[in-house]
Homo-oligomer: A and B are copies of this chain.
Amino acid sequence: MSLRHLLSPRSVAIVGASDKIGPGFNAWKALEFVGFEGAIHLINPNKGELFGRRTLPSLADVADEVDAVFVAVQAERIPEIVRQATSKGVGGIAILSSGFAEAGETGAEAQRQLARIAAENGIAVCGPNCLGLLNFAGKAALFGTSLPESVARGGVAAIVQSGSIGIALLNAGRGLGLSHLITSGNEAVTAVADYLEALVEDPEVKSVIAFLEQLRKPAKFIAAAARAKALGKPVIVLKSGRSAEGRAAVMAHTGAVAGSVEVCRAAFRAAGVIEAGSLDELVETAVLVSGLASRPRGEGVGVVSLSGGEIALALDVAEEVGLTLAPIAEAKAEIAALLPEFAHIANPLDLTWAGLYDPTIAERIARAMGRQGQVGTLVLLQDAPRGLGTQQATRYSNLLRAVAKGARAAGKPLVAVSNLSGDPHPGFAAAAAEEGVPYLRGTREGLLAVASFARWAAPLSVERAVGADKAAAAKARNAWTALPANRLPAEHEARAILASYGLAGPRERFVTRAEEVGAAAAGIGFPVVLKGVVANLVHKSDAGLVKIGIRSADEARHAAAELLDRAARLESGEVLGLLVQETAAPVAELLVGARVDPEFGPIVVAGGGGVLVELYNDVAIRLAPVDEAAAGAMIAETRASKLLAGWRGKPAGDLAAVSAAIVALSRFIVDFADEIAEVEVNPLAVFAQGKGCSALDCLIVPKRRSG
């Protein structure tokens, strides 16, 4: 299915064209507004003429070819019109009518029928229950709502699932130059992912912004976003439903901490999508990426301001928004020579009033700062509220021009940020526009946009593609196939499978009779841990089936008898036997897990174990597989990483072994994505550097358990 007919039709029919205010009138006006140059067919059985043109009673009466149809009639009449469109070989339909899936089961059934017919005939459908779409760049429109007097044109394509948000973006007056505005409505057929895929290939489109409530066709969306990244076109997404969305119902913690929201975020990250948290953040980021003359030259940012107060406000949000303040050590002497003796030379830099009264000072400082290798972008923090007196506005404008000159001399892009998000002083705004400096509004929104774009533009990290290990996979598959299919793999069985990927575990022996534990324990070395193994019972501790610190063969036998007795009285499942394990004295205990997300595929999770994951969700998530570098970055993201860094006098933990364990699980989940729902090692005992780590407990949950 091509979107060409829908997005760039050569001919359009307006079904329900009208000279009364409403969709059938607005659609005509919208074509006029964008300067549509193709054929327009007006369909209205009750009027012979509209806008000085002859109308036709029905779509079937159009003699010529029709590329796309606009329709906003009652939902009941849609099937008939779609049939007519199908006969005419129409390639795209924008259906504004409501009364479909949003309106209960009858509507949902009508929508399913619509989707079926569209699929059979390869028709792209915008909507139903939408406002239609505008293609300013390609001079086309299938749009049913009134338009403002003027819309700034440019390279930003907007796709929104909410008509209301579409109207907001269209009228925001924020100077965003739009190439498209697409409201996707119920997405019966054509979804945001389809539009994104088409738009990234359009040379007129330089960046894409999207507002989503529900991400349909996620794999396609991620692929299109990754393609956009490769083409150097930023994709900025505001995905709502961040707090409301449910968690996967799963047996282990991995699913609880890596719910659909978190996995979606990991997928966005992997595809280079910039996420915004509010409509203002979406708009400011779009203003930045579409307005900056050149791309940031790395993650680091250099900040100047006239005001200690404004700098304090920026510092308050810098960490939260992930702003990397670049070191400026090598420019310190040069800058210090330009400022009063008492000036504090740092980044952010207070230019003091010297910078205001002598713009050449500001210019030279901006140049010196901009020349620092790690400064990829310069930021001028400067409030310029609308009511400002002319004298002050002129001074601030001169400052901006001076800093812009210095930034140009250093070859670095400049962004101006205001703490106030109301409309700025027109003189200052004009100066910024003339200098090609985006003027962002709001401390948080502005600095978040800078940080996001700088990260986006930074060279790709060293995370390499991970090659498959066929030998490991084959070995694991043999072990997997040998397991009984009528119950969950027991802990030691799961561990044996993961061992194929190099994951270590404690020395252990599985026995079936209490009499065997003494010898088994002696072979391992006291003290040992003894666990009762019951089919399909996951939480052994909670069931009282774990005894630790067993110091003699005698004690082991007593404990074994007690555990077997207790296990037999549980109504959980068959008692399989006893597990005798060496006692571990780790530096820290972590959780490493992986699961197959129904939307985004295999993912891997790592972070604090036990109470840390349950109370604090202290984990990092990535799409699987990951390599050692990515695994190390995951651990560093969590607060639990402090436990590995020589915490409270303990030795530092074996980070390399932890990274290898994460890599192992990420490979396993990819290799077994068809069979496994979830795998979890919790706790993963981490020993001192060079001593490795050990999977103290393991759980593998197959996708479907037969029996």
Q: Answer whether residue A421 sits at the interface, using C-beta atoms and an 8 A cutoff.
A: yes
- Find out whether the CB atom of B442 lies under 8 angstroms from the CB atom of A162: no
Q: Answer whether residue A612 sits at the interface, using C-beta atoms and an 8 A cutoff.
A: yes
A104-B639 contact in complex given A168-B420, A313-B278, A388-B171, C-beta closer than 8 Å: no
Chain B residue at minimum C-beta to C-beta distance from A314: B240
Chain A contacts with B in 210-255, Cβ cutoff 8 A: 211, 213, 238, 240-244
8 Å CB contact of A319 from B21, B243, B419: B243
8 Å CB contact of A640 from B151, B168, B312, B615: B615
Query: Which one of A151, A241, A316 has the highest number of Cβ atoms from chain B below 10 Å of its Cβ?
Result: A316
Q: Answer whether residue A595 sits at the interface, using C-beta atoms and an 8 A cutoff.
A: no
Q: Which of A51-59, A303-311, A563-571 contacts B (4 or more CB under 8 A)?
A: A303-311
Give the CA-CA distance A227 to B518 in the complex, in Å: 74
A422-B173 contact in complex given A240-B316, A278-B444, A318-B243, C-beta closer than 8 Å: yes
- Find out whether the CB atom of A542 lies under 8 angstroms from the CB atom of B649: yes
Q: Distance (Å) between the CB of A444 and the closest chain B CB?
A: 6
Q: Answer whether residue A167 sits at the interface, using C-beta atoms and an 8 A cutoff.
A: yes
Give the CA-CA distance A278 to B314 in the complex, in Å: 9
A422-B174 contact in complex given A149-B387, A342-B102, A615-B643, C-beta closer than 8 Å: yes
Give the CA-CA distance A648 to B549 in the complex, in Å: 22
* Interface 1/0 per residue, A164-196 and B, CB below 8 Å: 110110111110000000000000000000000
Q: Answer whether residue A19 sits at the interface, using C-beta atoms and an 8 A cutoff.
A: no
Chain B residue at minimum C-beta to C-beta distance from A418: B168
Chain A contacts with B in 658-699, Cβ cutoff 8 A: none
Give the CA-CA distance A161 to B145 in the complex, in Å: 48
8 Å CB contact of A385 from B145, B172, B425: B172
- Find out whether the CB atom of B316 lies under 8 angstroms from the CB atom of A167: no
Give the CA-CA distance A342 to B104 in the complex, in Å: 6
- Find out whether the CB atom of B308 lies under 8 angstroms from the CB atom of A168: no
- Find out whether the CB atom of B313 lies under 8 angstroms from the CB atom of A420: no
Give the CA-CA distance A701 to B147 in the complex, in Å: 70
- Find out whether the CB atom of B616 lies under 8 angstroms from the CB atom of A165: no
Residues from chain B with a CB closer than 8 A to the CB of A648 are 539, 542, 614
Residues from chain B with a CB closer than 8 A to the CB of A386 are 171-173
Q: Answer whether residue A283 sits at the interface, using C-beta atoms and an 8 A cutoff.
A: yes
A164-B383 contact in complex given A240-B312, A278-B313, A317-B278, C-beta closer than 8 Å: yes
Q: Answer whether residue A337 sits at the interface, using C-beta atoms and an 8 A cutoff.
A: no
Q: Answer whether residue A341 sits at the interface, using C-beta atoms and an 8 A cutoff.
A: yes
Residues of A in contact (CB 8 Å), total: 91
A173-B385 contact in complex given A279-B313, A421-B442, A615-B612, C-beta closer than 8 Å: yes
- Find out whether the CB atom of B616 lies under 8 angstroms from the CB atom of A442: no
Query: Which one of A242, A320, A611 has the highest number of Cβ atoms from chain B below 10 Å of its Cβ?
Result: A611
* Interface 1/0 per residue, A274-302 and B, CB below 8 Å: 00011110010000000000000000000
8 Å CB contact of A315 from B98, B243, B608: B243
- Find out whether the CB atom of A387 lies under 8 angstroms from the CB atom of B170: yes
Residues from chain B with a CB closer than 8 A to the CB of A487 are none
Q: Answer whether residue A459 sits at the interface, using C-beta atoms and an 8 A cutoff.
A: no
- Find out whether the CB atom of A213 lies under 8 angstroms from the CB atom of B309: yes
A608-B618 contact in complex given A164-B309, A316-B242, C-beta closer than 8 Å: no
Give the CA-CA distance A392 to B163 in the complex, in Å: 13
Residues from chain B with a CB closer than 8 A to the CB of A388 are 148, 167, 171
Chain A contacts with B in 590-632, Cβ cutoff 8 A: 608, 611-612, 614-616, 618
Give the CA-CA distance A265 to B617 in the complex, in Å: 25
A310-B162 contact in complex given A315-B240, A422-B423, C-beta closer than 8 Å: yes
Give the CA-CA distance A172 to B387 in the complex, in Å: 6
Chain A contacts with B in 387-430, Cβ cutoff 8 A: 387-389, 391-392, 419-423, 425
Give the CA-CA distance A383 to B279 in the complex, in Å: 11
Residues from chain B with a CB closer than 8 A to the CB of A547 are none
Q: Distance (Å) between the CB of A640 and the closest chain B CB?
A: 7
Q: Distance (Å) between the CB of A320 and the closest chain B CB?
A: 8
Residues from chain B with a CB closer than 8 A to the CB of A319 are 243
Give the CA-CA distance A425 to B162 in the complex, in Å: 20
Query: Which one of A309, A539, A608 has the highest number of Cβ atoms from chain B below 10 Å of its Cβ?
Result: A309
* Interface 1/0 per residue, A83-110 and B, CB below 8 Å: 0000000000000001000111001000
Residues from chain B with a CB closer than 8 A to the CB of A145 are 392
- Find out whether the CB atom of B164 lies under 8 angstroms from the CB atom of A306: yes
Q: Answer whether residue A441 sits at the interface, using C-beta atoms and an 8 A cutoff.
A: yes
Give the CA-CA distance A312 to B239 in the complex, in Å: 9
Give the CA-CA distance A170 to B385 in the complex, in Å: 9
A167-B392 contact in complex given A173-B387, A279-B443, C-beta closer than 8 Å: yes
8 Å CB contact of A313 from B21, B149, B240, B385: B240
A310-B419 contact in complex given A318-B243, A542-B648, A615-B608, C-beta closer than 8 Å: no
Give the CA-CA distance A151 to B387 in the complex, in Å: 9
Give the CA-CA distance A161 to B161 in the complex, in Å: 44
Q: Answer whether residue A146 sits at the interface, using C-beta atoms and an 8 A cutoff.
A: yes
Q: Distance (Å) between the CB of A191 and the closest chain B CB?
A: 16
Residues from chain B with a CB closer than 8 A to the CB of A312 are 162, 213, 240-241, 244
- Find out whether the CB atom of A387 lies under 8 angstroms from the CB atom of B148: yes
Give the CA-CA distance A421 to B319 in the complex, in Å: 23
Residues from chain B with a CB closer than 8 A to the CB of A211 are 309
Q: Answer whether residue A509 sits at the interface, using C-beta atoms and an 8 A cutoff.
A: no
- Find out whether the CB atom of B21 lies under 8 angstroms from the CB atom of A168: no
* Interface 1/0 per residue, A117-161 and B, CB below 8 Å: 000000000000000000000000000011111110000000011
Give the CA-CA distance A242 to B283 in the complex, in Å: 27
Chain B residue at minimum C-beta to C-beta distance from A544: B649
- Find out whether the CB atom of B389 lies under 8 angstroms from the CB atom of A148: yes
- Find out whether the CB atom of A171 lies under 8 angstroms from the CB atom of B385: yes
Given A168-B420, A278-B442, 7 further pairs, Cβ under 8 A: A146-B392, A150-B387, A161-B309, A243-B319, A243-B320, A611-B612, A615-B618
